[in-house]
Amino acid sequence: MYNCVMDDTLNKDDIERAARAIREADRVCCLTGAGISAESGIPTFRGKDGFWAGRRAEDLATPRAFAADPEDVWAFYLWRRQLLADKVPNAGHTALADIERSVDHFTLVTQNVDGLHRRAGSERMIEIHGNLLLDRCTACGVEVMRTFDDVSDEIPYCDACGAMMRPGVVWFGEMLKPKDLYGAQAAAEASDVMLVVGTSSLVQPAASLSFWAKSNGATVIEVNPDATPLTAAADICFPHGAGAVLPAIASRVFD
């Protein structure tokens, strides 16, 4: 039995409807954004205290910025890595990992690069914007996944060819990896339930996934304290944080 005490402010009927839809589904796709990790203490991008507060994204997260001043860009990303070192998955991350194990065909598509889903136990996952701990060589393309044990303030260089590495994330103006994009689209379009958690539903192409799912007959469930462009189209909406909603849904899935 999944042990959960439900928040009294949650709509219990909607919790049961969402759990029933997941329980009866053959295929579930979940899209997550920065909101789910905000509850672990990681700043979002668009809030007043977010990563871009006081700075332009163009100065830190574009190929042009990296070409112009790689040291400044790396300083920002190395700081973000250090920021992650003491952060842990929250109840929302853990509930999604638990739900994954109860569904035959489950795909988690995350826009987050913090790796918290993986640390919570999620396995069937597409990190469409990359991973903050991944380094990619600017010359030969070799990739190296770092751990928190070797995170430092030193710019990494490639062991294979000696060239400077770059953060293994998707910057503004870059295309997603085709394998990741097509995998996410296929999972959304084939889903019986599309769960959308903590995302503004503004960043494309990820924002289109839920609408593709809806157009193919999926039940769309949105979890977000703020209204988004998806809210009016969703079948069930929870104006709450993921840490309250997802464990409550998971507890009913496992009943």
Residues labelled catalytic: 129
DSSP 8-state code for residue 205: T
**Gap between the Cα atoms of 115 and 131, Å rounded:** 6
DSSP 207-238: HHHHHHHHHTTPEEEEE-SS--TTGGG-SEEE
Edge to edge, what strands does the sheet with 125-127 contain?
125-127, 105-110, 27-32, 193-197, 219-223, 236-238
In angstroms, the CA 163 to CA 166 distance is 10
Contact between 76 and 171 under an 8 Å Cβ cutoff? The reply is no
SS3 28: strand
Helix (H) or strand (E) holding 195: strand 193-197
Tokens of 139: 């010359």
